[in-house]
Structure 1
């Protein structure tokens, strides 16, 4: 479903000579430049009564602007009483701690039972915000923190902050292999050429940068702390697999479970039984989209990762002089 909006205004001296999409973004700051550009290309913008459909065109002082546009609503999705772990909420945003197994947004194969459906139940007015305020996502089996906008102005500012890389997101992960030092993976990512639900490093893809540091070393695994500069789909999972250190349990990029020399039955069972990628969004820091206040939240590592770490520590303690390079 969608609803129509009408926006009117007049360009003044500060807009003179600017691109149309830039000038409109200045005039209507509650809407993102990307959305405004789409409206221009869809012939929804007029200047002095004439359709203006070229985002690059320069504007003149005194031109009368009118936008007749439509905004998609989330009303096509049903509110569902799904429990959300809300760690912060005010009039403009909420921050949730997502569990494993919960999909963020409806899609092919998952028409409902998602974070979006839960948001519509928790706060019905969020239906007026595109995608129910979701500005970034976590994979179904990745746990941890994500922010949601409760209004269009908040959403616009959060999306812009993400694009400027002004939102800090840190993750905890357990990777396969003994890593000696941290580093950065700066490799572009795009859709896999043949497996369309997978992503892959591709020189023609979009820029993607992941920083990682070693937090704890085990015989054949490494606990990592990672920070994203960009937010590509499956970014951490793809980048770690690319450098030959896939995440434990990753069903897509992890490959087959490789045997570990002298592994105890407990370790073998723990690794075989870990059926999701060992990845948790543990810290989120941002400037509040309306007040500008710097805010930060932390989420402890979930129980399944804690249990796996305990088994890895016990295995390492039992073989203090042994490093398994796998």
Structure 2
């Protein structure tokens, strides 16, 4: 068994019998599958809305006619089975494993992905890793983000790697193609928390957790920029949220980037490539850390996947064609 998290969405309408009752009492009545203490926690964490307005006070008194919505995550126990799934192993020894994750591969099992995940593959490749919490996975990549991940094969290695993450010692660098042309590199220092109304998403929030992303320009195009990014923190969807925050969302990201933006006058080939790229253009290109047993500083790199290479080639060619026509 391994622990995972699932997103739940609950909705109901309060009735006159709930008039003047506490919000946490009403939630426990409307959704009896969940305890009042669980509901209280969800309210305090901002996961409950009345008529689309988030309420964070459990003792909030109800009118008795509100539409109640709950969007939250719950810990679940998922029975994970070993599966012979090919892993692109960049490095392996008795303590750690570094893989180059492809797109469309989920890291942890959940209700919608009970099999075919990185965790299932790890259980088959290293059977004894089932004794390590979360099968040794110490950091995640989104399903459609490619690139390097480190996995601990022992509890001692996991403890060491988690400490490096928390102390911001581990270095993770990414490459991305963002929309619009950047003038220069910079730093985004903006706290990230749950989106105020879309509870499965993240957003820059005044009272969110600290988050810092450094970025520099690799190559500028007519309507895009190829950038290198380095994380100081590791918040959920951090790069995607931060780049969208500064008006440079990742190409191909429907969640934070909105509809695909096509350069005016782009060729049919360029338009087809941009429309056909159906994931965020983000790749974990470099990973550096202290080996948990030898304390040696180690660095691994993973080249851009072919779909991102083709995408960048397409916007580069588009830029050349418009320069030639000027």
Instruction: Indicate the residue corresponding to 2:129 in structure 1.
Output: 126
Cα offset, 1:251, TM superposition: 2.0
Give the Cα–Cα distance (whole angstroms) in 2 for the partners of residues 177 and 75 of structure 1.
42
Provide closer, same or farther for how the CA distance between residues 97 and 133 of structure 1 changes in structure 2, counting only shifts above 3 A.
same
Please tell me whether residue 270 in structure 1 is matched to residue 281 in structure 2.
no
Instruction: Indicate the residue corresponding to 2:153 in structure 1.
Output: 150
Give per-residue Cα distances to partners, 1:280-310, cap 9 Å, x unaligned. Answer: 0000000001110111000000000101111
2:196 to 190, 193, 196: 193
Give the Cα–Cα distance (whole angstroms) in 1 for the partners of residues 265 and 225 of structure 2.
18
Give the Cα–Cα distance (whole angstroms) in 2 for the partners of residues 239 and 85 of structure 1.
29
Instruction: Indicate the residue corresponding to 1:293 in structure 2.
Output: 296
In structure 1, runs of 5+ residues without a counterpart are 3-73
Cα offset, 1:322, TM superposition: 8.9
SS at match of 2:310: helix
Matched residues, number: 253
Please tell me whether residue 78 in structure 1 is matched to residue 81 in structure 2.
yes
Cα offset, 1:75, TM superposition: 8.7
Instruction: Indicate the residue corresponding to 1:135 in structure 2.
Output: 138
Q: Is the 8 A contact 2:217 2:227 kept in 1?
A: yes
1:166 to 169, 179, 197: 169
Provide closer, same or farther for how the CA distance between residues 80 and 90 of structure 1 changes in structure 2, counting only shifts above 3 A.
same
1:49-64 equivalence runs, <5 A:
none
Tell me the TM-score normalised to structure 2 length: 0.75
Superposed CA RMSD: 1.8
Between stretches 110-119 and 258-267, larger displacement belongs to 258-267
Give the Cα–Cα distance (whole angstroms) in 1 for the partners of residues 111 and 323 of structure 2.
47
1:317 to 292, 306, 320: 320
1:244 to 241, 247, 250: 247
Q: Is the 8 A contact 1:88 1:94 kept in 2?
A: yes
Cα offset, 1:269, TM superposition: 0.8
Give the Cα–Cα distance (whole angstroms) in 2 for the partners of residues 127 and 246 of structure 1.
38
Cα offset, 1:215, TM superposition: 0.3
Give the Cα–Cα distance (whole angstroms) in 2 for the partners of residues 322 and 291 of structure 1.
57
Give the Cα–Cα distance (whole angstroms) in 1 for the partners of residues 186 and 213 of structure 2.
9
Moved beyond 3 Å, runs of 4+: none
Instruction: Indicate the residue corresponding to 1:87 in structure 2.
Output: 90
Instruction: Indicate the residue corresponding to 1:67 in structure 2.
Output: none
In structure 2, runs of 5+ residues without a counterpart are 3-76
Q: Is the 8 A contact 1:75 1:127 kept in 2?
A: no
